Structure 1
Amino acid sequence: MKRSSFLRLSLAIGSLFSFSLKNVYAGTKNKYDRGKGFKVDAGKDRFNKSISPFDGDIFYTKVSTADTDGGMYVFESTRIKEGGPILHTHYDTDEWWYVLQGEFLIKVGDQTYNAKAGDFVFGPRMVPHTFAKVGQGEAKVIIAHQPAGKMEEYFKKISEGVAKNMSEAERDNMRKEHGFEKVGPPLTYLKQ
């Protein structure tokens, strides 16, 4: 191949590659301006549309999966009822909890932590974990999934009642489709 032909071919391939990367990136951008930050007020949702996936629980999105192109999902959970989710494990996401108000028991692997306002607990991916609100009154916890995986999508579907009439096997499949699975019952604790 002549040098001039090689250079033209190289430039053409480079231009095509650059064009393709721009289009791929443009397809993953969310509708929010990447050049700006944002503020979400206390007790408010990022989109002014809180969800209630579980009875006695309200989720306020603080950082949406779309805000970070899947990098993380952060929400505040305001809980009235005692208890919490099943023991489960995420395939590809780490999860953490920062207690704002009230008291929680948070189990990660074989360790159970008593977490109160100001306490932080980390749960690495593939390690079984769960938590439970304990005590009377309202409790609040910031929960994050990093990377986000499909947890925000899962909570929205649950809030919309998608799983309401599902069998346990169908619920298990739905969990797996969203990147996690049930590995045991909810955390039990003794009331004082």
Structure 2
Amino acid sequence: MKRRLFLQFPLIASALIADAKNPPVNRPNKGFKVEADKDRYQEELLLMGGKFTCKVSSKDTDGDLLIYHTIRQSKGGPAFHVHHSQDEWFYVISGEFIVKVGDDTFNLKPGDSAFAPRTVPHAFAKISEEEAQMLVLFQPAGLMEDFFHQLSKVGADVPQNQEKTLKELWAKHGMEIVGPPLKF
């Protein structure tokens, strides 16, 4: 039994190494710049109390990474939720946020960051009076970019009669709402 595993391992390992050497087919072959307050594809989104601009698109990374910059005027944030396939990272540029990951709650100020592993419920909320800015990173990108575009079509503030539509949208994109937005 162990001999069989011993003989199979080199075959599996060599296949994985060979696959890792194959370059991604859809990645750009040169760098790019996205200016401050600009979106990678000039598709600024207004949703969840803020303006979202894409800085690195899932199209740029074959779905490996997605980075949004959000400028938020309104207090609050999304519902407590789970990403089944993405890790999420938050980095505060200005203002103050709270981020809850599982049972832990973090107060974030400029320069602070928080990490939410996939499958762990989490949410964030802007708590400062002044405008606040944050970078939000998803790895892998999965369907998150499409989710933000679809959510922006539903509207910035979802009426009660659209709650079912909203939950279906989250589920379609590999997420689940597991609680209300954070109270602060």
Shorter-chain TM-score bucket reads 0.7 to 0.9
Are 1:159 and 2:148 an aligned pair?
no
Q: Pairwise mapping of residues 23-172 of structure 1 onto structure 2 (< 5 A)?
A: 29=26, 34-54=28-48, 56-161=49-154, 167-172=162-167
Shift of 1:162: 7.0
TM-score (norm 1): 0.78
Distance (whole Å) between structure 1 residues aligned to residue 175 and residue 94 of structure 2: 27
SS at match of 1:77: strand
Q: Which runs of no fewer than 5 residues in structure 1 stay unpaired? A: 1-21
Distance (whole Å) between structure 2 residues aligned to residue 149 and residue 138 of structure 1: 29
Distance (whole Å) between structure 2 residues aligned to residue 152 and residue 49 of structure 1: 11
TM-score (norm 2): 0.81
8 Å contact 1:53–1:156 — kept in the other structure?
Answer: no
Q: Note the aligned Cα RMSD (angstroms).
A: 1.9
Distance (whole Å) between structure 1 residues aligned to residue 148 and residue 117 of structure 2: 20
Q: Which runs of no fewer than 5 residues in structure 2 stay unpaired? A: 1-21
Which structure is larger by alpha-carbon Rg, 1 or 2?
1
Shift of 1:160: 1.9
2:72 is matched by which residue type in structure 1? R
Once the two structures are superposed, what CA deviation does each residue of 1:168-188 show, in whole Å capped at 9, x if it has no partner? 233212111101010000000
Are 1:182 and 2:171 an aligned pair?
no
Aligned to 2:10: none
SS at match of 1:52: strand
Aligned length: 160
CA, structure 1 residues 174+113, in 2 after alignment: closer, same or farther (shift >3 Å)? same
User: Which 4+ residue blocks in structure 1 deviate beyond 4 angstroms?
Assistant: 162-166
